A and B are shown apart, each in its own frame.
Chain A
Amino acid sequence: MLQLAAGLALSLLLLHPARAGDLADLFPDGRLAALRVPSGLALWQAPPVQRAIQLLRERGALAEVEAGRGALQLATGTDPAEWLAFLLGGEVEVGVYEGQASRLAGEGTGRRRLLAAARTPDADGCQRILDALLAVIESDEGNDVRRKSYRDVPWARVNRELLVARRGEVLLLANDDDLLAAALDRLLDGAPAVAPPPAAGGLLTFELEPELLRPRDLQPATGAARRALGRRIANPLGNLLFAGLLLGEGRLCGSLHAEAGALELRLALPPAQQDTPAAFFPPGADGFSVPVDGETLAVLAVRRDLADWWRQRETLMSAESQPQLAKADETLSLLFMGSSPAEDVFAALGTELALVIDRQTFEDAPEPDVKLPGACLVARLHDPASFGPAVQVAFQSLVGFLNTERAQKREAPFLLDALEHEGTTLRAARLLPGGPGEPVGSDANASPAVAIVDDWLLLGTSLEQVRRLVSALRAGALQPVAAGTLSLHVDGVRALRLLADNRDVLVAQSILEDGLSALDAGRHVDNLLALLGELQALDLSVTRAVDRLDVLLRLTLDGAP
């Protein structure tokens, strides 16, 4: 029945193709976000969307939705999916507006206002469905439906929250009276478009004002305050990765695309400003290579000038984080025997940086209950002969610091070791093993190690991972990464294996947090793992173009060619 209805709607749409920009004309100026779906049906029928729905249905995750659908069908005699296909199967346009000024709290503090418009195949059919839906809503005594008219166009208010109107084949939904009235005025008076529609192409396209992403407690970005968004990322790693991408001014545009076995989200971020620190966009070729091994589940690669970033930390990060940054600077200086972190330590590293994430196998170490992945920083050294020994001494000092701290907490210390592996000396620290029968805590995930292979620096949380990466470098097993600015590759199969390693922990967490029985929690986690098993890979890349930053997020699903 659903396919039949969908087919019918599709043929009607083909007879009356959407006129680009028409619906956009109904939206008054000032949209914070605009979303346009050229064909709701095409979005619904996109293979990845259908596959996701099929999987959810197979695993009973849509049971409640199916039950609601059945109840509605019983009440109306029609499958609600047919209505949805009819109402939303064509062109759909959505706008988000700033909230109305609040007399108490000031401008822009009210609830954000929404307006949606959909072009249906025909006016009569639209009205019939609308009447039937309102009748069902009205039949529930808890609901309040009021019908009115505006300039002879009937409209209804549902529970003071949702406003619905139809004019011709156009269906309008809003949560604000003025917005609906403005849209009806434009529909009746044929007002011209006030803003160019979002770029065409894809299953859906959208545009966002950066204001929409701005935390509501921040003042609108102007002048120097433009950096506030970046400064909100007080976490140094987050700041290093993302702050530079958020410094541009202008609208953010995007589109969603689907093909067999893959979903792609393409974003165009506003370009970085002229005064953006060079730290985030150092000169150099776009791509580089990093070592990977058989357990690598993710590679995060960036091109950053760490020394410049550290020099400018006071302007790049919030005032609250400065005391901690100053302390970190002091500690780094101490570890590197009085060297300047910015001028001597970070400046010794190349701009091609990667974090390689590996699943740990614990083949020659006690296996903890919670199995965390290992993470290894991979960088190139300008002068390995002089900087290599400094890194190794700093590593030893760091382990010493850690042991002092752990001793104060009566925690088992790390034992320092030097190991030879394929002609490379690895400095490693392993936890002093507990007695037989002693529980293995999550600390056992940590066995920090450092190695220098030619001009490569490997500094990792897991000895077994660093060993594998040394072997990879020796064997020339390098993976190219398209890190113009930032790239992330996640191997779905290996990430799933990591989750499967922790299945029992996930089940236990589900019992505690979802209130499920052991059996239900087991099913819940298995369903989740099966769903994630559909993800073959996730790839994110950010590259810098002349007039924008291009962001590409691609999900490759199981069964992709």
Chain B
Amino acid sequence: MTLLLASAAFRPAEEALLPWRADVDGPFGPREAAHLLRRTSCGSTLAERRRVVELGPQRAVAELTTPCEPQGEYAALLGALAPLQGLEDLAVCQSLWLARLLHDPRPFGDVLALFWHGHFATSVAKVGRMQLLVRQVEALRALGRGPFLPLLAAVARDPAMIAWLDGNGNRRHHPNENFARELLELFTLGRGSYDERDVREAARAFTGWHERDGQFRFVPAEHDDGNKQVLGSSGALDGDDVLAACLARPECARHLAGRLFRHFVHGNPEPELLEVLAVRYRESGYDTLALLRELLCSREFHGPRARRALVAGPVAFAVGAARTLGLLPDCRELADRLAGLGQSLYAPPGVKGWDGGRAWINPVTIIGRMNLAASFGRLAAERPSALEAAAGGDDATALLGALLDDDVPDGARRELFALRGDVAGLVQAVLSLPEAQLA
């Protein structure tokens, strides 16, 4: 293990990004499939893992990340849920998003939308109008895989974002810098890559980008069409020019590639690796799907540094466990529990989104996760056939294999085997293990 870690640490960046080859780099079996599915789908059933193993890493990544129209039972489910979709009710909207994550046979679009929801963090707590948030997330879902510029342009015009960062107050004679500042600091470049003048000038470029009745509205009378200088570009810049100027800077690719890497691979990328990744991202025209596919196929992703290397966020933890065990929990109750665990969908805590990583775990959330594990245990005990179909059984061997790739310390294993016959207790115990909190 130490040798492997050491060799990975010193592997040249390009080599770390080479596609994982089962004949050279190691096996690609159910464990590797489970790892890939944890990151792309939050969790997986045995059948899904078998399918991924059959396909091999490259074809599996292509299939898992390719958008497809909802079909069959999932399409019927979305149709049946449609009457609730227009409601101005946070709990209902949270439940609907969770239902998508739980039922979609290929939920990568929503997993990625959740990442962008944290990146472009916007909360209903200030926006007030739930449907604006729902429409924002629909845009993140639709554009999240594509080139970054259209996504960023959509976010800059997004009524929820405008309400969130006080766009209506950004007027020709009274520029409001909120959006411009977050654009530079959080959405594109990262701290230290711009100065206060860039913020002021960028804010002028977005003057008149308003929201009215839930729609984007450009108000020419409120737009400052004078000369500006932002990030080295100058002229009568408007908002789109500023967005392009941001993406033209190498720091933007570095910032975004770093965030995607840390979210989908592991938390400690070497600077050289990130630099290579950033160059490729920029040269591809910020093609996010291409970047993610390269990452998900890479040696770095399938190597030991990335396995169970991330703390699963509450949504990933709960959705992953439910998908793996074939559980269909009460989505309203689940949304409440997730809020208690620190991840309230459509209501991130601030402009920076969720801190993530170790911040997900504290004494309160540990107890919350155990309570969630207990409720999943009860649910699993009520539906043994679903558990059997998803995880291959209800004993300790099956559950450890399904949830933890059978990778637990001996002491914990002995305790779990002592719970023979108590399905609810067993599921609770496995999901409460420290290893189960990692993705």
Write the residues of chain A forming the contact surface with B, with a CB cutoff of 8 angstroms.
142, 369-370, 409-412, 439-443, 504-505, 507-509, 511-519, 521-522
With CB as the reference atom, state the residue of chain A lying closest to B213: A410
Contacts of A142 in B (CB 8 A): 421
Cβ contacts B322-353/A at 8 Å (1 or 0 each): 00000111111100000000000000000000
Q: How far is the CA of A370 from the CA of B79 in the complex (A)?
A: 16
Q: How far is the CA of A495 from the CA of B87 in the complex (A)?
A: 23
**How many Å from the CB of A85 to the closest CB on chain B?**
30
Contacts of B249 in A (CB 8 A): none
B128 touches A369 (CB 8 A): no
Write the residues of chain B forming the contact surface with A, with a CB cutoff of 8 angstroms.
73, 76-77, 79-88, 92, 95-96, 99, 128-129, 131, 163, 213-214, 327-333, 379, 421
**How many Å from the CB of A29 to the closest CB on chain B?**
40
A-B contact count (CB 8 A): 78
A410 touches B96 (CB 8 A): no
B83 touches A505 (CB 8 A): yes
A409 touches B331 (CB 8 A): no
Q: How far is the CA of A516 from the CA of B331 in the complex (A)?
A: 11
A440: contacting residue among B86, B128, B213, B214, CB under 8 A: B86
Contacts of B329 in A (CB 8 A): 515
A512 touches B84 (CB 8 A): yes
Apart from A509-B84, A512-B95: 13 A-B pairs, beta carbons within 8 A: A142-B421, A410-B163, A439-B85, A504-B82, A511-B77, A512-B96, A513-B330, A513-B331, A514-B330, A517-B73, A518-B73, A518-B80, A519-B76
Contacts of A369 in B (CB 8 A): 83-84, 86-87
A504 touches B128 (CB 8 A): no
**How many Å from the CB of B46 to the closest CB on chain A?**
20
Contacts of B86 in A (CB 8 A): 369, 439-441
Q: How far is the CA of A508 from the CA of B80 in the complex (A)?
A: 6
B330 touches A409 (CB 8 A): no
B99: contacting residue among A439, A441, A443, A512, CB under 8 A: A512
Q: How far is the CA of A509 from the CA of B131 in the complex (A)?
A: 18
Q: How far is the CA of A355 from the CA of B213 in the complex (A)?
A: 35
Q: How far is the CA of A507 from the CA of B80 in the complex (A)?
A: 7
A409 touches B128 (CB 8 A): yes
Which has the most chain B C-beta neighbours within 10 Å: A410, A412, A514? Answer: A410
Closest 9 CB pairs of A and B: A515-B328, A439-B86, A518-B80, A518-B76, A512-B331, A504-B83, A369-B83, A512-B95, A508-B84
Q: How far is the CA of A379 from the CA of B87 in the complex (A)?
A: 33
A518 touches B79 (CB 8 A): yes
Can you list 15 residue pairs at the A/B interface with Cβ under 8 Å?
A: A409-B129, A439-B131, A441-B88, A504-B80, A505-B84, A507-B83, A508-B84, A512-B81, A512-B92, A512-B330, A515-B330, A517-B76, A518-B80, A519-B73, A519-B76
Which has the most chain A C-beta neighbours within 10 Å: B85, B87, B327, B333? Answer: B87
Contacts of A512 in B (CB 8 A): 81, 84, 92, 95-96, 99, 330-332
B87 touches A441 (CB 8 A): yes
Q: How far is the CA of A522 from the CA of B80 in the complex (A)?
A: 9
Contacts of B328 in A (CB 8 A): 515-516
Which has the most chain A C-beta neighbours within 10 Å: B80, B96, B332? Answer: B80
Contacts of A412 in B (CB 8 A): 213
B128: contacting residue among A410, A507, A508, A514, CB under 8 A: A410
Contacts of A439 in B (CB 8 A): 85-86, 131
Q: How far is the CA of A110 from the CA of B329 in the complex (A)?
A: 32
Q: How far is the CA of A516 from the CA of B329 in the complex (A)?
A: 9
**How many Å from the CB of B283 to the closest CB on chain A?**
41
